[in-house]
Amino acid sequence: MWRPPERIRHPLPVARAPRVEEAQASLLFTPLTLPSGLELAERTWVPAMVPWRASARGEVTPEVLGWYARFAAGEPGVLVVEATGVRDVPSGPLLRIHDDGFVPGLRELVRTVREASGGRTRLFIQLIDFLRIRRRPERERFFVEFLAVTAAHRSGLAAATAEPAWQSAPEPELRRALAALPDAALGALLAPRELEALRFGARERVWDEHEPSVAALPRVLPGAFARAARRAREAGFDGVELHYAHAYTMASFLSALNVRRDGYGGDLAGRLRLPLEVVAAVRDAVGARYTVGCRMLCHEAIAGGSSVEDAAFFATHLARAGLDFVSLSTGGKFEDAEQPRIGEAAYPYTGPSGYACMPTVRSDARGPFGRNVPEQARVRAAARAAGLEVPFVVCGGIHHFDQAEGILARGDGDLIAAARQSLADPDWFRKLRLGRGAEVRRCAYTNYCEALDQRHAVVTCRLWDRTPPRAGEPPVAQSADGRRLVAPDWS
Ligand SMILES: Cc1cc2nc3c(=O)[nH]c(=O)nc-3n(C[C@H](O)[C@H](O)[C@H](O)COP(=O)(O)O)c2cc1C
Ligand code: SF4
């Protein structure tokens, strides 16, 4: 993963543990009612985290149940289930919801979380769409199988070798000759997207309007999200979170890089058009009283990407369209991702925008803790200035009581999301609430978990994955390489 050049090692700040009376009187543990009428017992939030535990077809497995039951035992106000696919796109062990056949498994997941949290935790599911991305190919294979040979390749090779015969040479020979060229020559001969397909693996963009399936997205996606949301409601989830953040389809429509010319790109209104149409379709499908929110970026953190001002515009209009919450994240884009190894796909958290999303303790002077909250607060302030009271969820390096309480007291956010701190210790919010904050296992923010995610390996936390079972602890499920799949019990 990319690191800021300064590489300042930030120690974990001193984290004061509040006494039980103080915790219980705090803003963090004050209930909040969403515009839908859904009551949250407290303002604590575990955001979506993909654990790579679904079946290869995207179904709920016992390991998925175990993962969410463990977070639910910590009784956060809200727990958001990982990004779950709304279309029938093979995606390995990630959850899917594109068909009614997934409802029974998801219903079991809802039942499990209700039981583990004693009904205290509200459960949402994040709905995602993503476009096709291929693994980085072997060089030979790219030229023999994937490259669509054009007249430009023929004339380019003819010019590079001073051999006009390449203009009409048989295609297999031409492919072999291209494969044999040095990298430097390829830079001039292949189009930018062909070079990217060779060096990173081919990746679709939402502005590839020449691809019929991409051109059709505005017709296809509102229905796909709406049907998925209806299934989520049938399964018993308290609400859905539309994934409009990071590197995926809906975030790409919002992106300043989106140059579609069919009215779904270009200026701010064009980029927002499909996200608004999806909200409208989802609302139609689930009704006014069901909780529908979105996760979006406070800025894209890439060259030429959307700014905080763009995000303020989007959040304000999305809130006005009837969202019940707006959850903010930062960066996490493909555009600045590192080159993957051959046979692997690019991962959108390896570049500077990935760092902005999940910063580590090796940082610049700004450090990783609450790093993005000031920008997120500006997005919220714009919505408030427009007279909108929708709650905002803030996220990124939030990990101790005074920090969270300060954010709420200043009005920088309305709900406090913590991903890695909750992974390190799923009980941490509960420990604070019970006045046992001194027992919190503190995230080290070195991103061992994120590296597992990058390799599509089952995600665990380094602080607990090799901890042997305690006396009396029920049998611990383990990964094939001997890591415990859920955090140790705390009672
Ligand atoms: C293993 C892992 C998986 C993640 N999966 C998702 C996801 O499915 N959807 C999403 O919006 N964010 C995902 N994230 C990002 C987190 O929700 C969060 O935005 C990020 O980790 C920063 O918050 P933190 O500093 O509290 O960890 C993931 C993060 C991690 C560490
Ligand atoms: S693996 Fe490291 S960064 Fe991830 S949750 Fe655990 S301590 Fe935090």
DSSP per-residue codes, 128-188: E----BPPPPPHHHIIIII----HHHHHHHHHHHT-GGGGT--HHHHHHHHHHS-HHHHHH
Confidence of residue 322 (pLDDT cuts 50, 70, 90): very high
- Whether the CB of 2 sits within 6 Å of ligand 2: no
| Ligand 1 nearest atom to the CA of residue 423, by list position | 31
Provide the pLDDT for residue 90: 82
- Inform me whether the pLDDT recorded for 364 exceeds 80: yes
The residue contributing the CA closest to ligand 1 atom 18 is 419
pLDDT at 226: 98
Mean pLDDT of 294-305: 98
| Cα–ligand 2 centroid distance for 249 (angstroms) | 28
Give the number of the atom of ligand 2 that is nearest the alpha carbon of residue 360: 3
> From residue 257, how far is each of 27, 72, 254, 330, 339 by CA, in Å?
39, 38, 8, 16, 20
Q: Which residue ranges form the domains of the chain, and what is each CATH number?
A: 8-134+207-454 (3.20.20.70), 139-199 (no CATH)
pLDDT at 33: 98
124 pocket-lining for ligand 2 (C-beta < 6 Å): no
Q: Which ligand is nearest the CA of 441, by number?
A: 2
Å from CA of 153 to ligand 1 middle: 42
Under DSSP, the state recorded for 10 is P
For 169-198, the pLDDT digits (tens) are: 999 999 999 999 988 889 889 999 999 999
Is 424 near ligand 2, meaning CB less than 6 Å away? Answer: yes
Q: 241 near 185, Cβ under 8 Å?
A: no
Ligand 1 centroid distance, CA of 188 (Å): 38
pLDDT of 469 higher than 90: no
Residue 425 alpha carbon to ligand 2 centre in Å: 9
CA 130 – ligand 1 centroid, Å: 16
Ligand 1 pocket test, pick from 360, 420, 452, 483 with the greatest ligand atom count within 8 Å of Cβ, gives: 420
Q: How many CB atoms lie within 10 A of CB 66?
A: 17
pLDDT score for 466: 87
CA of 46 to the centre of ligand 1 (A): 9
Residue 235, CA atoms < 13 Å, CB-side half-sphere: 31
- Give 353 Cα–ligand 1 centroid separation in angstroms: 13
Give residue 322 CA to ligand 1 midpoint distance, Å.
25
Helix axes 103-116, 217-235, angle to 10 degrees: 50
Quick one: which ligand is closest to 452's CA? 1
pLDDT at residue 188, as a whole number: 86
- In 3D space, the residue among 365, 350, 364, 432 whose CA is nearest the CA of residue 398 turns out to be 432
CB 56 within 8 A of CB 409: no
Ligand nearest to the CA of 440: 2
Q: Whose CA is nearest to atom 8 of ligand 2?
A: 443
Q: Which ligand is nearest to the CA of 396?
A: 1
Grade residue 214 by pLDDT with cuts at 50, 70 and 90.
very high
> How confident is the model at residue 345, as a pLDDT?
93
Q: What share of the chain in percent tops pLDDT 70?
A: 100
* Ligand 2 mutation target, pool 445, 453, 467, most atoms within 8 A of CB: 445
In this predicted structure, the answer to whether residue 491 has a pLDDT above a threshold of 80 is: no
Which protein residue has the closest C-alpha to ligand 1 atom 13? Answer: 49
